[in-house]
Structure 1
Amino acid sequence: MGYGCVSLAWVMLVVMLGLASESCYGLGTFGFHINHRLSDPVKGILGIVHDLPQKGTPQYYAAMTHRDRIFRGRRLAADHLTPLTFDAGNDTYRIPAFGFLYYANVSVGTPPLWFLVALDTGSDLFWLPCNCTRCVPELISRGKIIKLNTYNLDKSSTSNTISCTNSSYCTQRQQCPSSGSSCRYRVDYLSNDTSTRGILVEDVLHLITDDDITDAADTRIIFGCGQVQTGAFQDGGTPNGLFGLGMDNRSVPSVLAKKGLISNSFSMCFGDDGVGRITFGDTGKPDQRKTPFNVDKLHPTYNISITQIVVEDLVADLEFHAIFDSGTSFTYIKDPAYTRLGEMFNSRIKENRHSFQSPESVVPFEYCYDITSQNETIAVPSVNLTMKGGDDYYVTDPIVVVVSEKEGNFFCLGIHKSNSINIIGQNFMTGYKIVFDRENMNLGWKETNCSYDDVLSNTPPISPSPSPAVSPAVPPAIAVNPVATSSPSINPPNTSFIIKPTFTFIFLLLSLLAIF
């Protein structure tokens, strides 16, 4: 999610270094499905369809951008192993009602209690609503009350508080009223008075092996017992907890690796329909493309270098850094790269530039183009980012399609101008399995449809032959037509897809998550 100067008071997510559970599982991978809050599976489960902005409307994109801005102020803070995942499975879901982030179902404590937590590669803290004085106990949707679980120390037989005497985890002991007091934490965000604070606790996180056997692989972790949530956390943003996936050694992936349960790596798959997967211990495939991380030892993040932007036959040699953040909906780029990409895209578009009827339009994009009933197809220029090391990152869904009664129907290049930091958001991750390989310190990516076999199988993918009319070095334009009744399949760089131009339904071409 967002980045910038954020005050992080006290301790963030900390995890036990010792192996508290049985260590006979060996190193492996653990996974679970991830879902965007806007995905149809989650909307059906939560019954919140009528309470959300309609997919593709200006209000939909305005809401997602608003959520991005709220959280952009947070702190920047081996093949023989069996992968691990959450006890409920490795599916993830993109859920609109909870801040447009990707979520997974995790269980903590004894007996297990379930939480729908947001997944965020941009932060390290794992926290849950706990013994709350200010948090969200329920949501009201379509006249129905949806209860949200709250962690309670007294109701879990395996829970412990972390005291101020614990020098390994309680780094702000000077804030403790006495040596025997519980160690407190606080994380403040720049936007809308958004924060979480509480105490550090230890309990069991329930995991299983992500294979055919699915053995239990529970482990004890230290996390934030969030007693007070403010700002966006009171308005539906991550009301049931946040699962930090950052590079810091206190994040859950780091702890699982340190305990010898997994390789120090994990992957997230971002599907077109808002459904994906996350797998702990997954280092990817030999044929995946990759680029090295730029590591800031003080505030490590998943920061990479882009050396070139290619739009159709136009090439711009621009080197800049960007952070891959599953917690940001759209892609944010600073000038001069933002303007160069936008103008290159604009010069290869045949459709008319959209003229907004109102200067107060809520649509958060600059490069937008009209869709008319006369359009047989819309030729969307291909967009490619060349990464440090030379590997290409083809953006499978560079546009968003907007339906508006006042403005008509149009599509936009899905980027925002940033004043501070470059962020590759969910929309540019669609159609890929992204591997966050902290063991080899590189980012990997590979086209996928997010099916189980496609994500974990070692079978090489079948790639179509390049179009005879197009050089493999220059991918053709993507033909898009603004109506679809189901998610389009993933299209390799040298293919096109067509959606027919009727307006009964507009499919949103966005990628999956993330969180802060």
Structure 2
Amino acid sequence: MARIVYAGVSVGVLVVLLQAAMVLCGFPAKLTLERAFPTNHGVEIAHLRSRDRVRHGRMLQSSGGVIDFSVSGTYDPFLVGLYYTRVQLGNPPKDFYVQIDTGSDVLWVSCNSCNGCPATSGLQIPLNFFDPGSSTTASLVSCSDQICALGVQSSDSACFGQSNQCAYVFQYGDGSGTSGYYVMDMIHLDVVIDSSVTSNSSASVVFGCSTSQTGDLTKSDRAVDGIFGFGQQDLSVISQLSSRGIAPKVFSHCLKGDDSGGGILVLGEIVEPNVVYTPLVPSQPHYNLNLQSISVNGQVLPISPAVFATSSSQGTIIDSGTTLAYLAEEAYNAFVVAVTNIVSQSTQSVVLKGNRCYVTSSSVSDIFPQVSLNFAGGASLVLGAQDYLIQQNSVGGTTVWCIGFQKIPGQGITILGDLVLKDKIFIYDLANQRIGWTNYDCSMSVNVSTATKTGKSEFVNAGQFSDSGSMQNQPDRFILNLSIFVLFVQLYIFTSFFHS
């Protein structure tokens, strides 16, 4: 630190004042989105597929600013893919780590006196329990509350007996589940109000208070405090905040695919010139898209369009909670055959525990074909080799790569999980009922659009702030704090002079 001497004021006093200025100016700690993903290449695909089966059972049937969930970018090589963020709930605020889930609607966290809730986590994060009685702003949600009635319509809430208390029971396909009741309390947010400048804000939201968990939810290896549902129904936080004009009715994420993990999550629309959009299939409980065909090296695969049609039992879903990607059985078979035929001359094809794998000493980017998922409206999701392959192990200069796409036998569902979503911006534009994407380096910051009260669109910079409050990407914030620091110095000099 350079020595600063100003009108006889000691460096020690200046340091104290600088520290005070920084505290008062509120270099904010950001909400942190973290990722745990198998980077040692030792996790078998069967393990990932088993985890996804559990996850699939969990799929439940005008703007004031951009809410920024910054990323710390940590990962655990011994746990399967999981993205989570830290949210603050209650008054005084308490930290909770919750899974980011675009496949469900409700935000819920473990509550005090919870039966079966894990107390420790293999993700090396502290687990907490929400206590409504310890929050000065918490209140229970009654069955007569309008938002409870809206939740009943989408099966996200229920009322039992004579308690008049809005409750929920979520039973998942693997036999696990959670039950509890709804509370209304404060969620504390960082809202971007100008270029790279944030202000602390809070809003009341309804969320679930889990009093019982069973099955896979009780395991501590990848335990979190709850699930942060980003679905479209009325009880989702994005719907609650956008309906009151606190946040825009759009959110975006960009998930890093390298070993450091992490990414960007904002309530707002990330603006990039190469984004392509496809409409959401209307009246669906999830983020369903109209997948029309699959191309491998520019050749459309011979798959009947009926395979991709949306119905109650089939369709294509975007889901950030799924580690791998899943194709309808007929589409999967055609895809594997096409890829295998193209690389047959340069790899050795083997089947390992039911998975099609390839042994090669070459770069997969050089020998494996480009794949294109073609959606309604002319939007294509272009995948490189590492968007559909999983590296299993490596011996010397030889590496085993396996198809990361899986099939669900006898079912026509297609689920695009993190394997496909990584290293791309994804925009969930609920206001216009569409989803957009483009390739992107998710270690970089992004521009986010938000509509002002005058109806004019403004752009702010978001993402990639460190938890330590680093001033990187925050020049205006630095100038603001420096100005206030100078004011502190001037007040100190004036006071010293007055009393001398």
Question: Normalising by the residue count of structure 1, what TM-score does the alignment of the two structures yield?
Answer: 0.70
Correspondent of 2:422 among 425, 430, 455: 430
Q: CA deviation at 1:317?
A: 5.9
Tell me, in whole angstroms, the C-alpha distance in 1 between the residues paired with 2:101 and 2:59: 12
How do 1:312-351 residues align onto structure 2 when only pairs under 5 Å count? 312-316=297-301, 318=303, 319=305, 320=308, 321-349=315-343, 350-351=345-346
Correspondent of 2:252 among 234, 257, 267: 267
Q: CA deviation at 1:56?
A: 0.7
Q: CA deviation at 1:371?
A: 2.4
Correspondent of 1:392 among 380, 384, 404: 380
**Paired position in structure 1 for 2:139:** 160
Tell me, in whole angstroms, the C-alpha distance in 1 between the residues paired with 2:53 and 2:159: 31
1:218 aligned counterpart, secondary structure: strand
Q: Which amino acid aligns with 1:369?
A: Y
Q: Which runs of 5+ in 1 are unaligned?
A: 1-30, 39-52, 460-516
Correspondent of 2:41 among 56, 67, 77: 56
Distance 1:267 1:280, change over 3 A: same
Q: Which amino acid aligns with 1:155?
A: S
Measured on the aligned residues, the alpha-carbon RMSD in Å equals 3.0
Q: Which amino acid aligns with 1:205?
A: I
How do 1:111-260 residues align onto structure 2 when only pairs under 5 Å count? 111-131=92-112, 132-139=114-121, 147-169=126-148, 171=152, 175-179=159-163, 181-191=164-174, 193-210=175-192, 212-236=196-220, 237-260=222-245
Tell me, in whole angstroms, the C-alpha distance in 2 between the residues paired with 1:332 and 1:246: 20
Q: CA deviation at 1:450?
A: 1.2
Q: Is the 8 A contact 2:271 2:446 kept in 1?
A: no
Q: CA deviation at 1:77?
A: 2.3
2:142 aligned counterpart, secondary structure: coil
Q: Is the 8 A contact 1:54 1:60 kept in 2?
A: no
Distance 1:81 1:112, change over 3 A: closer
Q: Is the 8 A contact 1:161 1:202 kept in 2?
A: yes
Summarize deviations over 1:209-239 as a string: whole Å, max 9, x none: 1352211221111111011111111113543
Q: Which amino acid aligns with 2:432?
A: N
Q: Size of the alignment, in residue pairs?
A: 396
Q: Which amino acid aligns with 2:172?
A: Y
Distance 1:439 1:317, change over 3 A: farther
1:326 aligned counterpart, secondary structure: coil
**Paired position in structure 2 for 1:465:** none
Summarize deviations over 1:178-236 as a string: whole Å, max 9, x none: 25x43221100010x21011111111111111352211221111111011111111113
Tell me, in whole angstroms, the C-alpha distance in 2 between the residues paired with 1:312 and 1:220: 50
Q: CA deviation at 1:125?
A: 1.3
1:138 aligned counterpart, secondary structure: coil
Tell me, in whole angstroms, the C-alpha distance in 1 between the residues paired with 2:92 and 2:49: 38
Q: Which amino acid aligns with 2:414?
A: N
**Paired position in structure 2 for 1:37:** 36
Distance 1:305 1:93, change over 3 A: farther
Q: Is the 8 A contact 2:270 2:446 kept in 1?
A: no
Q: CA deviation at 1:455?
A: 5.4
**Paired position in structure 2 for 1:416:** 406
Q: Is the 8 A contact 2:39 2:77 kept in 1?
A: no
Moved more, 395-404 or 214-223: 395-404
Confirm whether residue 369 of structure 1 aligns to residue 387 of structure 2.
no
Q: Which amino acid aligns with 1:194?
A: S
**Paired position in structure 1 for 2:280:** 293
Tell me, in whole angstroms, the C-alpha distance in 2 between the residues paired with 1:190 and 1:376: 36
Distance 1:83 1:317, change over 3 A: farther
Distance 1:62 1:207, change over 3 A: same
Distance 1:429 1:168, change over 3 A: closer
Q: CA deviation at 1:424?
A: 0.8
Q: Is the 8 A contact 1:283 1:435 kept in 2?
A: yes
Q: CA deviation at 1:63?
A: 2.4
Q: Is the 8 A contact 1:98 1:238 kept in 2?
A: no
**Paired position in structure 1 for 2:350:** 355
Distance 1:116 1:95, change over 3 A: farther
Tell me, in whole angstroms, the C-alpha distance in 2 between the residues paired with 1:232 and 1:97: 17
Q: Which amino acid aligns with 1:344?
A: A
**Paired position in structure 1 for 2:5:** none
**Paired position in structure 2 for 1:67:** 51
Distance 1:430 1:167, change over 3 A: closer
1:229 aligned counterpart, secondary structure: strand
Distance 1:96 1:455, change over 3 A: farther
Q: Is the 8 A contact 2:268 2:448 kept in 1?
A: no
**Paired position in structure 2 for 1:49:** none
Identity of aligned residues (%): 28
Tell me, in whole angstroms, the C-alpha distance in 2 between the residues paired with 1:152 and 1:187: 21
Q: Is the 8 A contact 1:307 1:317 kept in 2?
A: no
Q: Which amino acid aligns with 1:102?
A: Y
Distance 1:403 1:110, change over 3 A: same
Q: Which amino acid aligns with 1:438?
A: L
Q: Is the 8 A contact 2:103 2:286 kept in 1?
A: yes
Distance 1:314 1:33, change over 3 A: farther
**Paired position in structure 1 for 2:263:** 276
1:257 aligned counterpart, secondary structure: helix
1:69 aligned counterpart, secondary structure: helix
Q: Which amino acid aligns with 2:280?
A: F
Q: Which amino acid aligns with 2:245?
A: G
Correspondent of 2:435 among 435, 443, 461: 443
Q: Is the 8 A contact 1:325 1:425 kept in 2?
A: yes
Correspondent of 1:402 among 383, 392, 413: 392
Q: Is the 8 A contact 1:204 1:218 kept in 2?
A: yes
- Of structures 1 and 2, the larger Rg is shown by 2
Q: CA deviation at 1:152?
A: 1.1
Q: Is the 8 A contact 1:263 1:283 kept in 2?
A: no
Q: Which amino acid aligns with 2:198?
A: T
Moved more, 117-126 or 343-352: 343-352
2:45 aligned counterpart, secondary structure: helix
Summarize deviations over 1:134-178 as a string: whole Å, max 9, x none: 20112368xxx8641111112211111112343541549984332
Q: Which amino acid aligns with 1:74?
A: R
Q: CA deviation at 1:365?
A: 2.8
